[in-house]
Chain A
Amino acid sequence: MKNPMTLGLVTGVATLALMVGGVVSRVRAAETRLREPDRAQEAVAVADHAEEAYCTPAFKQVLQRVLNACGLVGQESRRGCQPGDVKTFASIDDDDFNALFTPLVKRGGIVMFEEGKEDVDEFARQFVEKKWNDRKGARYFFIVARASKSGTVDKNRSLSHRRANSVQYFLKEKTNDPDLDSQVGMLWLGSEFAQLGKDYCETWENSHAGKKCDTDAINRSAFVSWVDCRL
């Protein structure tokens, strides 16, 4: 190519074509990748409730059964479970049932009631409110009510039922939370299942701190705790 101008023109046009071709090729390659699923995006975790180490398969199994059988999942018409239900669905003996909740010793606490009463006194109100407010990442709040062995089985079933309800009513009144029913799981165990030993007076925080605590007193109660498990 003798003509310098032509050579310059060809060089310029060829370079431009080369550059444009490279850019088009790069854009097309990006378009191809665009259609492929982004595995990095798929792997990103989704916000979820807390899952603490104590959420063992056995613990979660019991909780799941409570949720299914006691009205939190799917059965809007029913609230709570009674002793007979627990024995049936938990398939677990008293000590093992209580042991499941041991890891919650720092998280939960025991609301104490006067003998034969289900009233949530001022100490209990403050205690329940404190525990409720300490939700952090938990999904479910459990109320497990009991009655001491004094009195008949039927009377104690009814009493523990009322105690569980009292705590729940207090929470409803206090929080005005429309989603409360889907968060609170209740069990009332009467006096015939999973009674607490006297050692619970020392090891668990309760609403009557400083007051006399014995086996009867600790079972006139409702255990309350948020549960940091994904179910």
Chain B
Amino acid sequence: MSNDSSRPAPAALLAIAGSLLGLAFGAVSTMDFAAHLDRKVHGVTCSFVPGLLANESGANACATALYSPYSSLFRRTVWGGVPIALLALGAFAFFLGFGVWLWRAKVVGVPQSVRIAFGALGLTPALASILMFTISVTKLGSVCKVCTGMYVASFLVAAAAALVLKGAIEEPDSGPPLLTTTLAVAALLGVATFTPGLVYAAVVPDFGTYVAGCGKLEKLEEKHNALLKLPTTSPTKKAMIFVDPLCPTCKAFHEQISGEGIFDRLDATVSLFPLDGACNWMIDSERPVHAGACVVSRAVICGEASQESRAVLEWAYEHQPELTAAGKVSPAKVKELIVARFSKTAACIDDPKTERRLHQMLQFAVENHIRVSTPQFYLDGQRLCDEDSDLGLSYALRRLAPEVLP
């Protein structure tokens, strides 16, 4: 009997375990997010056992989630936004306290109306998890391990809440009035949930001075009219984009600004900058960064004749893995893939005039002394810092060109 009385009730155990798990995963996610406030490149933890494995650099599902617009709130006001994981931290801290209360009070020692309130509010993390899981699957196409950890934690807390609720509603009404109690518990949960976010927003450095500090284009026009205009639906601001069609970061950036409705508000000009030594003298031809990018770039240029440049570029982004694999075989293989989809480009791709135009674009990059990296994005000649091209995009655009934000 003494063992039974000292052992935590299942509901308390679930609440405590779920909260601790949620705190652990929430802390990992928040710490990874906050590390990016130094505007440098960082790996993102993606593990079911945080701390056991080193942060993974490059692309992984957790990085996809972190850089997506769904990882934080108020991105236009706070650089990077306030990470949603912070809300989880506050909520799980609240449920941990509640779990300890349930444990020490052996559940039934907690007033019935409070248990009903907990039972109802304890389901909210699970509802939030269902929402975030749906976004992950439908919008991001992947589910990150750290996020999954938080989903599991939420369901443990929900299971605890359901057990508590079931027990409480079978009892006769007792304790303080239910409505008052529910409002009070909800208020406490709200305070706990939003406190970390408010503190975070208060201490985040001011990035306003950094946004416009990444240089300007020295020349806005290319004297041979070599640059490509990409059609957009409602252009409001001149934008110059240096891109490599086989560069994954270019693809991610294009998808981000397209997905957020920004691209179609740009008066977009593209200067192709393939990181492939076959045409770009700035890249070692023995060690091309993106072999085959010269052929794809010429195809994008060729698309202009049939007003398909944007279509070719977006198709190249979409089929980047196949084109990259073909590029490792031979330029002819890349051309074969392109011509199978855009037959009109066949003759133009190998035309010396197309090659010359591509070289003129590269010379334009030289005249502007841009960095040998892609993508590079300029608004009315003002460069968007690389550091502002993902997490800080909305914040930076609000300062550089608010009219492009939908």
Residues of A within 8 A of B (CB): 4-5, 7-13, 15-16, 19-20, 22-24, 26-28, 30-34, 38, 40-41, 44-50, 133-137, 177-179, 228
Contact = CB atoms under 8 A, between A and B. Distances in A.
Contacts of A30: 34-38, 205
Among A16, A26, A30, A45: residue with most chain B CB under 10 A:
A16
Given A7-B104, A12-B94, A19-B90, 16 more contacts: A12-B93, A15-B23, A15-B93, A16-B195, A23-B31, A23-B89, A23-B196, A31-B38, A34-B38, A38-B39, A47-B365, A47-B369, A48-B366, A135-B356, A135-B359, A177-B223
Contact of A7 (B101, B363, B366): B101
B100 interface: yes
A26 B369 contact: no
Contact of A133 (B204, B281, B356): B356
B131 interface: no
15 contacts: A8-B98, A8-B104, A9-B101, A13-B97, A20-B195, A26-B31, A30-B37, A33-B40, A34-B205, A44-B371, A47-B372, A48-B369, A50-B281, A133-B356, A134-B356
Nearest to A10: B97
B90 to A, nearest CB: 6
Contact of A15 (B96, B109, B362): B96
A16 to B, nearest CB: 4
Interface of B: 23, 26-27, 30-31, 34-41, 86, 89-90, 93-94, 96-105, 109-110, 192, 195-196, 199-200, 203-205, 223, 280-282, 352, 356, 359, 362-363, 365-366, 368-373, 386
A137 B223 contact: no
A73 to B, nearest CB: 17
A16 B368 contact: no
Contact of B363 (A5, A46, A135): A135
A217 B196 CA distance: 85
Contacts, number: 145
Contacts of B26: 19
Contacts of B373: 44
Contact of B223 (A16, A47, A49, A178): A178
Given A19-B90, A48-B282, A11 B200 contact: no
5 A-B pairs closest in CB distance = A12-B97, A8-B101, A137-B281, A4-B104, A30-B37
A136 B281 contact: yes
Interface of A is mostly: helix
B80 to A, nearest CB: 10
Nearest to B352: A133
Contacts of B110: 4-5
Contacts of B369: 46-48
A46 B101 contact: no
Contacts of B31: 22-23, 26
B196 A137 contact: no
A46 B30 contact: no
A75 B379 CA distance: 36
Contacts of B37: 27, 30-31, 34
Contacts of B38: 30-34
Contact of A11 (B96, B196, B199, B365): B96
Contacts of A7: 100-101, 104
A47 B23 CA distance: 47
A134 B105 CA distance: 85
Contacts of A13: 97
B192 to A, nearest CB: 6
Among B23, B34, B90, B102: residue with most chain A CB under 10 A:
B34
Contacts of B359: 135-137
A49 B366 contact: yes
B205 A137 contact: no
Nearest to B97: A12
Among A32, A41, A133: residue with most chain B CB under 10 A:
A41
Contact of A44 (B93, B280, B372): B372
